[in-house]
């Protein structure tokens, strides 16, 4: 990746992290840790890889993204607003009564949300079904899904992987957001899922491990997926990430799985991201800044 593209991507990413923090601060509940670990891959996907048209959300040929770890909804909402599915002002309504920005994504309420998710283990099956429909209809679209590493403790995930291989879904790219933590503590302590990559390989997925915060490696992962198309195998990417990425006091802390930041905490976090001034804009106007 050339330097210019990298700088621009990091800048975008920083704005999205800011949006996630502000949204959660406003909502007073939600999931910062897993949103911040996942946003790097999700934002790269939307900004550089997927074909879609916010003016025509149901365009048949669009690529699809299913957030299987639905609790990272703030990450999804931040990027959907960024690419133009809805006004960034809506971000202020997260988790409030009547808002289309439900605590977990709801396809019936918000354009750009391909399927409701949130109940862990189900999104990957739904993504598989969409990929299977694409194969059946000989459509060229790709289906991307992102799961948590704790999520893969759900048996349904392995049922879905078996089916993805059985039906040769090489239009399906499965990311595991491997931040190593779940609500009750380290994944390895709660219910170990390692070695994830070996497990994916043994389920006949073309598998790759990446640093899920390194733009070059994220780019490589999508190149890898592209190179597997036509080979009849689904792609699995184990994305090594940091829960709470870029906020020092949230990083690698399972306590930050499902707690919103206080005023002081959000100030500290925004300060670390270099955008403390955005808090004032947010509190007064909603998001009014130019990107």
Partner 1 sequence: MGKVEKKKLEMQATRDAYGKTLVELGTENHNIVVMDADLSASTRTELFAKKFPERFFNMGIAEANMIGYAAGMALSGKIVFVSTFAIFATLRPFEQIRNAVAAQNLNVKIAATHAGISVGEDGLSHQAIEDVAILRSLPNMHIFIPADSVSAVKIVKEAARINGPVYIRMSRPKTPIIYDETYEFNAGQANILIDAPEARVAMLATGNMVYEAMVCGEKLRSEGIPVIVVDVSSIKPINKELIVSVAKRARLVVTLEEHTIVGGLGGAVCELLSEEYPTKVMRIGINDVFGESGTPSALFQHFGLTAEHIYRKLIKELR
CB-wise, 200 or 270, nearer to partner 1? Answer: 200
Is there binding between residue 275 and partner 1 (CB under 8 A)?
A: no
CB-wise, 24 or 124, nearer to partner 1? Answer: 124
CB-wise, 32 or 105, nearer to partner 1? Answer: 105
Nearest by Cα to 160 from 138, 145, 180: 145
Helix, strand or coil for residue 3? helix
Is there binding between residue 130 and partner 1 (CB under 8 A)?
A: yes
* Contact criterion met (CB below 8 Å) for 72 and 31: yes
CB-wise, 31 or 62, nearer to partner 1? Answer: 62
Nearest by Cα to 182 from 239, 253, 250: 253
User: How many Å is the Cα radius of gyration of the chain?
Assistant: 18
Is there binding between residue 142 and partner 1 (CB under 8 A)?
A: no
H/E segment holding residue 228:
helix 215-228
What is the rounded distance in angstroms from the CA atom of residue 59 to the CA atom of residue 36?
29
Q: Which stretch binds partner 1 (CB under 8 A): 74-82, 112-120, 217-225, 283-291?
A: 112-120
Is there binding between residue 102 and partner 1 (CB under 8 A)?
A: no
CB-wise, 123 or 150, nearer to partner 1? Answer: 123
Q: Which stretch binds partner 1 (CB under 8 A): 130-138, 245-253, 261-269, 281-289?
A: 130-138
Rule CB under 8 A: choose which of 116, 142, 179, 278 binds partner 1.
Answer: 116
Counting other chains too, the contacts that 204-207 makes at CB distance below 8 Å and 24 or more residues apart are 204/165, 204/233, 205/161, 205/164, 205/165, 205/174, 205/233, 205/234, 205/235, 205/236, 206/231, 206/233, 206/234, 206/235, 206/236, 207/235, 207/236, 207/237, 207/238
Helix, strand or coil for residue 79? helix
CB-wise, 122 or 278, nearer to partner 1? Answer: 122
One character per residue 158-197, x = contact with partner 1 (rule: CB under 8 A) = -xx-xx--xx------------------------------
Rule CB under 8 A: choose which of 124, 176, 205, 270 binds partner 1.
Answer: 124
CA 92 from chain center: how many Å?
A: 19
Q: Which stretch binds partner 1 (CB under 8 A): 44-52, 125-133, 181-189, 248-256?
A: 125-133
* Burial class of residue 286 in the structure, from the number of CB atoms within 10 Å of its CB (0-12 exposed, 13-18 middle, 19+ buried): middle
Please give the structure tokens belonging to residue 173.
Answer: 């790219």
- Shortest spacing between CB 166 and partner 1, in angstroms: 8
Longest dimension (CA), the chain: 53
Is there binding between residue 111 and partner 1 (CB under 8 A)?
A: no
Is there binding between residue 156 and partner 1 (CB under 8 A)?
A: yes
Is there binding between residue 126 and partner 1 (CB under 8 A)?
A: yes
List interacting residues with partner 1 (CB under 8 A): 106-108, 114-116, 118-119, 121-122, 124-134, 136-137, 155-156, 159-160, 162-163, 166-167
């Amino acid at each position: 990746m050339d330097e210019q593209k990298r700088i621009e991507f990091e800048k975008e990413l920083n704005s999205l992290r800011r949006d996630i923090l502000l949204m959660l601060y406003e909502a007073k509940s939600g999931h910062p840790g897993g949103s911040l670990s996942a946003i790097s891959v999700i934002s790269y996907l939307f900004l550089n890889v997927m074909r879609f048209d916010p003016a025509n959300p149901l365009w048949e040929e669009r690529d699809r993204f299913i957030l299987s770890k639905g609790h990272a909804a703030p990450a999804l909402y931040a990027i959907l607003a960024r690419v133009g599915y809805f006004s960034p002002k809506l971000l202020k309504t997260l988790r409030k009564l009547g808002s289309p920005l439900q605590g977990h994504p709801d396809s019936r309420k918000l354009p750009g949300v391909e399927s409701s998710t949130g109940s862990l283990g189900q999104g990957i099956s739904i993504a598989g079904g969409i990929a299977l429909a694409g194969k059946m209809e000989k459509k060229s679209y790709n289906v991307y899904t992102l799961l948590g590493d704790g999520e893969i403790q759900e048996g349904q995930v392995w049922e879905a992987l078996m089916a993805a291989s059985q039906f040769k879904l090489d239009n399906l790219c499965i990311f595991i957001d491997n931040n190593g933590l779940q609500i009750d503590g380290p994944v390895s302590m709660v219910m170990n899922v390692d070695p994830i990559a070996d497990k994916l390989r043994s389920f006949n997925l073309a598998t790759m491990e990446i640093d899920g915060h390194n733009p070059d490696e994220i780019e490589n992962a999508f190149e890898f997926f592209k190179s597997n198309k036509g080979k009849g195998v689904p792609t699995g990417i184990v994305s090594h990430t940091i829960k709470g990425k870029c906020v020092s006091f949230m990083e690698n802390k399972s306590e930050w799985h499902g707690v919103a930041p206080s005023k002081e905490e959000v100030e500290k976090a925004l300060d670390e991201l270099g955008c403390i001034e955005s808090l004032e804009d947010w509190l007064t106007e909603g998001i009014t800044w130019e990107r």
